[in-house]
Amino acid sequence: MATTRAEMNRRRLAWANLPPSDPPKTFDTLVDRKDVRGLWQATAAAKVWAEGAGTPWLVLVGSNGVAKSHIAEAALRDLAARGEKPDLVIADHLR
């Protein structure tokens, strides 16, 4: 029996062990927040990292509520959708 693309994506996300979120935290669901300085620069850097370009590491730093967890989960979802995984993820908590 052939595995559908949706089933493959479901398995990859389960394998990635990402926290359940409704809706899933993706780059498309990231809300434009003009009050968060550097949000779009951090998002652009995370997209480049998730594509495997740029540096081999991604570090997101900032105060509470500035979308660090959202950006990190979005990048990890992109990796999982392509069947890839980072070598190491350290996070105090992905919400």
pLDDT at residue 1, as a whole number: 56
Q: What is the pLDDT of residue 87?
A: 64
Whether the per-residue pLDDT at 95 is higher than 60: the answer is no
Considering the entire predicted model, what is its pTM? 0.75
For the segment 44-48, the average pLDDT, to the nearest whole number, is: 92
Predicted pLDDT at 43: 92
Q: Which residues of 47-85 are buried (b: 16+ CB within 10 A; e: fewer)?
A: bebbeeeeeeebebeeeeebbbbbbbbbbbbbbbbeeee
Higher pLDDT among residues 46 and 13, named by residue: 46
Q: How far is residue 41's CA from residue 66's CA, in Å, rounded to a whole number?
A: 13
pLDDT at 90 over 70: no
